[in-house]
Amino acid sequence: MKILALVSGEYGNRHVRNITKHGPISWEINTWQTPGFFPPFIDDPIDFLPPELPPADLILSFAEHKGAAELLPEIARMTNAQAVLVAVDDELWLPRGLDQQLHGWLENIQVACVTPKPLCSLTESTYGVTRHQTKEYHNPLIAEFAHYFGKPELDLEIDPETRTIFAAEVTRDAVCGCARFVAEGLVGLSVDEAEEKAGLLHHHYPCLASMQKLPHFDHDTLMHVSGQILKNNVGPQVKPFKNAKTFKPGKYSE
């Protein structure tokens, strides 16, 4: 698969480094550094694009400006791309109205599009659009990418006697590499502290998703939602090994 990644800063560069290091060796990954400035309105996308871009099957947009999103239909034409993935870890990069427009523009030229919010909500068939809503998609190129990178999945091995995690395998990493960082930090921990520690490790990586509170995310932030996705993966795995605590009338017992 040929991939073209659009980057404009360290956010995107970190993603590309992780994909290049841990993705299949058969993937051919190229990057394009977007312009550092865009006007409020773009009249002609060609004014902001190079004369040519490398051929691509899948475009990954990690650009941190909505102007870059407006270039995507023309970039898809230039590269003959069949699918586009836009990371929405900050709504300023892809406002909700532009999100709808972009889907329409790309649909008109028969290019698949997903806009996961946050990026680590992406699976092989769905992606997040609000706190409680996901959207289905059907595209083999995006699904192939999401097989390796997207919604984090850790496979924890736990010693039932000591109730500690002795191994943590990453079966799907976050695009930024956060899941690998968290997995390393969980090894050796008690199951009682693992879920909370996963959330702290996620923030300390650090997660670069937005801290802006969004109404359609229950006035929560994308950074917090991203951390909760990881905790929701760890929690069910450690729960059977936790010491059950119950309350009885008149006393507390283990």
Write the pLDDT tens digit of every residue in 218-253: 999 999 999 999 999 999 999 999 875 544 455 444
Q: What is the pLDDT of residue 245?
A: 52
Q: What is the pLDDT of residue 128?
A: 97
Write the pLDDT tens digit of every residue in 153-206: 999 999 999 999 999 999 999 999 999 999 999 999 999 999 999 999 999 999
Summarize the confidence of residues 144-159 as an average pLDDT.
Answer: 98
Q: Please check whether residue 246 lies inside any domain of the structure.
A: no
Q: Which DSSP state fits 205? A: T
Q: What is the pLDDT of residue 67?
A: 95
Q: What is the pTM of this model?
A: 0.93
Is 57 a residue whose pLDDT tops 70?
yes
Give the 3-state DSSP-derived string for 33-61, with helices as H, strands as E and coil as C.
Answer: ECCCCCCCCCCCHHHHCCCCCCCCCEEEE
Q: Which DSSP state fits 121? A: G
**End-to-end Cα distance, the chain:** 54
Helices 66-79 and 96-108: crossing angle in degrees, nearest 10, is 10
**CATH code of the domain containing 112:** 3.40.50.720
Summarize the confidence of residues 52-65 as an average pLDDT.
Answer: 97
| Residues 144 and 190 both lie in one domain | no
| Residues 140 and 199 both lie in one domain | no
Q: Which DSSP state fits 27? A: -
- Asked if residue 119 lies in contact with residue 63, where contact means CB atoms within 8 angstroms, the answer is no
Domain that holds residue 178: 153-240
Q: What is the pLDDT of residue 99?
A: 97
Tokens 């427009």 correspond to: 101
CB count in 10 Å sphere of residue 110: 8
- Asked if residue 149 lies in contact with residue 175, where contact means CB atoms within 8 angstroms, the answer is yes
| Residues 86 and 169 both lie in one domain | no
Domain boundary among 127, 148, 169: 148
| Residues 46 and 107 both lie in one domain | yes
Percent of the chain with pLDDT over 70: 96
Q: Please check whether residue 173 lies inside any domain of the structure.
A: yes
Domain boundary among 113, 130, 148: 148
